[in-house]
Chains A and B, each alone.
Chain A
Amino acid sequence: MKITDILIPLIISAVLLTGLIKKVDVWSEFVDGAKGNFKTGIGIIPTLIAIITAVGMFKASGGMDFLTSAVAPITSLFGFPAECAPLAIIKPISGSAALAVLESILRTNGADSFAGRVASVMMGSSETTFYVLAVYFGATKIKNTRHALLCALLGDLTGMIMSAIIVRLLF
């Protein structure tokens, strides 16, 4: 038994137990929370359809193979799998589009392959940079965001390089 096997049941049970002790109506709160995410989940389906269809067409046309072999010489310098390059490009721009690209990488290469693991780690360890900056600064009157984008993209680049290095070290 690994720690990761018990993590989810442990968190769920601990949360429910705390709720019961604090006399929270855990049942209706659970259903309410699930409802909230249900709406979000339904909301991302149109984006998923748009990107998955476009990526699927691109793959079927042979374009994806062309792209990955074209970027392979550059990505191999960092030991980064070329199959994950499309994810690295789209991840800072759109979360649901990245989800679609991740699905395609996992389906083609297998979830437990090197590329599959690197893609999963990259997806799990970064946010949608441009979206976050647009929403957060958009809510204020700030016009000059100074070095915010530079620092955020530096982080994305680190995530891309480190995901490959760390997956190689740990598996």
Chain B
Amino acid sequence: MLKWIFSALIILSFIFGIFSGNSKNVSDAVLSESVNAVNLGIYLLGAMCVWGGIMRVAEKSGITDALCRMFSPLAKFLFKGISPKGKAFSAICLNITANLLGLGNAATPFGIEAMKALEKEDNCKDTASGNMIVFAVLNTASITIVPTTVAALRMKNGSENPLEILPAVILTSAATLFVSLSAALILNRIRRKKK
């Protein structure tokens, strides 16, 4: 998909540039924007590293485990017929916690583990079980407490209060989660009845 977007953007800029007489600007943009991209990457590195470091300390201090226990009632509600002692259950809780803390790198391995365990526990062959759908959908919605990267970008672009968007982010996430999870739970029920 990205290969099409990338190529289309560049080929279209060439064509647009000729028709609008902006070819010189397009040409300059190749150099200046690639330099901007490197600057942006370096800029983001700072916030990413501090957060990564702090979250590693949180993990080693048992904070993630404590949060994980907090989420088990939620996981019991969302996932039908899942054993609280099973491998899937603990991987799901760890995944939710990691997502919440903005630990994308840690969330993915737990997520994959949870998917594999759900596949086994729900006895799927090549069709996704209801629980697998709910879990995947849960992960496509972001539930991060502090969007550090976005905040860093806002600060770079002169925001007076980079974190002012926080309440709006939480409300929007909640709405997104509510809609996508309800859709998944409802469709799971309807489609199961048909069988």
- Given the interface contacts A130-B1, A146-B128, does A170 sit within 8 Å of B169 by beta carbon? no
- Contact indicator per residue, chain B 46-70, by CB within 8 Å of chain A (1) or not (0): 0011111111111111110000000
Task: Name the one of A35, A120, A136 contacting B136, with C-beta atoms under 8 angstroms.
Answer: A136
Tally of chain B residues near chain A (CB < 8 A) = 104
CB contacts under 8 Å to B, within A15-55, are: 15-16, 18-19, 21-22, 24, 26, 29-38, 40-42, 44-45, 48-55
Tell me if A125 counts as interface (CB < 8 A to partner B). yes
CB contacts under 8 Å to A, within B106-152, are: 108, 111-112, 115-116, 119, 124-128, 132-133, 135-137, 139-142, 144, 146-147, 149-150
Q: With CB as the reference atom, state the residue of chain B lying closest to A142.
A: B128
A35 vs chain B, min Cβ distance (A): 8
Cβ contacts under 8 Å, B49 to chain A = 34-35, 37-38, 41
Task: Name the one of A62, A63, A121, A143 contacting B168, with C-beta atoms under 8 angstroms.
Answer: A121
With the chains together, A55 CA to B167 CA distance in Å? Answer: 30
The answer on a CB contact under 8 Å between A155 and B140 is yes
Cβ contacts under 8 Å, A142 to chain B = 119, 124, 126-128, 132
Cβ contacts under 8 Å, A127 to chain B = 139-142
Tell me if A156 counts as interface (CB < 8 A to partner B). yes
Cβ contacts under 8 Å, B38 to chain A = 45, 48-49
Task: Name the one of A24, A57, A112, A170 contacting B159, with C-beta atoms under 8 angstroms.
Answer: A112
Most B CB contacts (10 A, CB to CB) among A4, A42, A59, A155 go to A155
With the chains together, A62 CA to B1 CA distance in Å? Answer: 23
Tell me if A166 counts as interface (CB < 8 A to partner B). yes
Tell me if A123 counts as interface (CB < 8 A to partner B). yes
Tell me if B12 counts as interface (CB < 8 A to partner A). yes
B55 vs chain A, min Cβ distance (A): 6
A142 vs chain B, min Cβ distance (A): 5
- Given the interface contacts A41-B49, A61-B14, A170-B168, does A137 sit within 8 Å of B115 by beta carbon? yes
Cβ contacts under 8 Å, B6 to chain A = 50-51, 54
Task: Name the one of B112, B125, B137 contacting A155, with C-beta atoms under 8 angstroms.
Answer: B137
* Chain A to chain B contacts (Cβ below 8 Å), 15 pairs: A32-B56, A57-B17, A57-B26, A60-B28, A61-B14, A99-B149, A111-B157, A142-B132, A146-B191, A147-B133, A151-B181, A155-B140, A158-B180, A167-B165, A170-B168
- CB-CB nearest 7 A-B residue pairs: A33-B56, A37-B52, A56-B33, A155-B180, A124-B147, A111-B159, A45-B41
Inter-chain pairs besides A61-B14, A112-B158, A147-B191, 20 sampled, C-beta below 8 Å: A11-B54, A19-B58, A22-B62, A30-B53, A34-B50, A44-B41, A58-B13, A61-B22, A63-B13, A93-B1, A112-B160, A116-B157, A120-B147, A120-B165, A123-B147, A126-B140, A136-B115, A146-B128, A154-B180, A158-B176
Interface residues of B (CB under 8 A from A): 1-2, 5-6, 9-10, 12-17, 20, 22-23, 25-26, 28-30, 32-34, 36-38, 40-41, 44-45, 48-63, 105, 108, 111-112, 115-116, 119, 124-128, 132-133, 135-137, 139-142, 144, 146-147, 149-150, 153-173, 175-181, 183-184, 187, 191
